Amino acid sequence: MAKAKRYLNFIGGKWVEPSTGKYAENRNPADTGDLIGEFPASAAGDVAQAVKSAEQAFARWRLVPAPRRGELLLKVGDILVRRKEEIAQLMTREMGKIIKETRGDVQEGIDTAYYTSGEGRRLFGQTLPAELPNKFAMSIRQPVGVCGMITPWNFPMAIPTWKLFPAILCGNTCVIKPATLTPASVALLMEVFEEASIPAGVVNMVCGSGSAVGNALVNHPAINRISFTGSVEVGRKLAERCGANMKRLSLELGGKNAQIVMEDADLELAVEGALWGAFGTTGQRCTATSRLIVHQQVHDEVLAMLAERANKLKIGNGLDESVEMGPAVSEEQRQTVLEYIRIGKDEDKAKLVCGGKALTEGEYAKGYFLQPTIFDQVKPGMRIAQEEIFGPVLSVITIKSLEEAIQVLNDTEFGLSSSIYTRDVNRAFQAIRDIEAGITYINGPTIGAEVQLPFGGVKNTGNGHREAGTVVYDFYTEWKSVYVDYSGRLQKAQIDTESVG
């Protein structure tokens, strides 16, 4: 048997062994016999080395004109296009989602590279009128320094690029800790940076656990920004720590997203959306459709259509082009989902319509597979209707009106993505106004994002910052106000009020 590839950290433009000398295996969740590689189990000392490299690179990188930084990101995008299939194949092996989705994941990175490259010529400031004569006023953006990124396993290419590309476009340097379950995709991204001739030290990668590497990133005094995507529990701890150190933090956390289906909806379209939203990526998206809020007049028809199609979904290894749903990312994640299914069965009178079991026989024996699962007769206060499951479990809730539907949708601690299916434009705009979420789809599923729009949510979904779009540049820059007084004399702002002319 061929020896598994041993990956290294990427620090200062070089591939570096971890100071611990320790490595952890990364295996395919669809076939645990497939060993993808061994990855560094790094320590705080490795983070310190990466931060030092980033600090040194910042002194030079911040002076590179932003349009030139954008041109280098354009080159990164071109390389991602060329290596798209290679990266997608590896990502499916390490994360499990089907090949069509991992190609989409890489495409998101490509789109982000191209979009961000153009922002190199649009890092707008403002010119404003000054209150005194012979005085000029403007505001400009400046880079913040070294940024730390902690990324999740469900989008191993898209989310790292959402964080890294805007940060380096603004003139910052970065240290990223990839998810322990999906470091290979980020390692390939480092290869892309290397091939694109991004200067050494601008981007650094340190692999390892959250307790060792993540904590070291958050606690390092030279890191000025932390961007984290993950659980609410961890996000709260990071907020406390960063707050104590006056360190700026961007959080993108959980979701309990709902799709509303009104009685006037195109039911065929609504069912397609619910199926894709609930079971795409095996439900392992922060924007996954976890609740289906259905008007009582169409409930039976929608449920029958949905259950029939869910039972027919082809489950298996995502490298098979015909497979429609892959495994859970790990046995731990599968057990979490199975526990929520048990909770759903025990709660009040929730009815298990389909699924509800792990798949462990035959072709599924070496992977972490689950059946697509649907519960009906779910009440809004049940745990399966309130808590993020992060798996292929859909709770169906029946309502009698649009107002009730919106009330039920809003009745969680989260507010990331939402959806409503209706043919009534007035209802659509009422939903846009009243739904408490960062994203609202009209006649589309809750999953999916475009890089030119801000991504994020309200309530416990985050802390107000957004990924993507143009607003992300407010997180990775500091505003500086500049006054140029060419009067040749001392003018006292807020004091000199004599009339002019």
Which residues are paired to 485 by β-bridges?
Answer: 135
Which backbone phi and psi does 471 adopt, to 5 degrees? -70, -20
What's the pLDDT score for residue 190?
Answer: 98
What's the pLDDT score for residue 3?
Answer: 72
Per-domain boundaries in the chain? 9-253+462-481, 257-442
Task: Please spell the DSSP secondary structure of 352-386, one letter per residue.
Answer: EEE--SEE-SGGGTTS-EE--EEEES--TTSHHHH
Q: SS3 letters for 423-465?
A: CCHHHHHHHHHHCCCCEEEECCCCCCCCCCCCECCEECCECCC
Write out the catalytic residue numbers. 252, 286
pTM of the entire structure? 0.96
What's the pLDDT score for residue 493?
Answer: 84
Q: How far apart are CA 85 and CA 103, in angstroms?
A: 7
- Enter the CATH code of domain 9-253+462-481: 3.40.605.10
> 């970065």: which residue's tokens?
174
Task: Please spell the DSSP secondary structure of 82-149, one letter per residue.
Answer: HTHHHHHHHHHHHH---HHHHHHHHHHHHHHHHHHHHHTT----EEE--SSTTEEEEEEEEE-SEEEE
> 């059946």: which residue's tokens?
371
Chain centroid to Cα 461, Å, comes to 12
Per-residue pLDDT of the chain (501 residues; tens, 9 = 90+): 457 899 999 999 999 999 999 999 999 999 999 999 999 999 999 999 999 999 999 999 999 999 999 999 999 999 999 999 999 999 999 999 999 999 999 999 999 999 999 999 999 999 999 999 999 999 999 999 999 999 999 999 999 999 999 999 999 999 999 999 999 999 999 999 999 999 999 999 999 999 999 999 999 999 999 999 999 999 999 999 999 999 999 999 999 999 999 999 999 999 999 999 999 999 999 999 999 999 999 999 999 999 999 999 999 999 999 999 999 999 999 999 999 999 999 987 899 999 999 999 999 999 999 999 999 999 999 999 999 999 999 999 999 999 999 999 999 999 999 999 999 999 999 999 999 999 999 999 999 999 999 999 999 999 999 999 999 999 999 999 999 999 999 999 888 766 555
User: Sign of torsion, CA 106 457 237 384?
Assistant: negative
CATH of 257-442, one of 3.30.70.240, 3.30.1360.120, 3.40.309.10, 3.40.50.12780: 3.40.309.10
Q: What beta strand segments (E) does 12-79 contain?
A: 14-16, 23-28, 31-40
Which residues are paired to 420 by β-bridges?
Answer: 260, 442
CA distances from 399 to 40, 120, 405 (A): 51, 48, 6
What's the pLDDT score for residue 347?
Answer: 83
What's the pLDDT score for residue 4?
Answer: 80
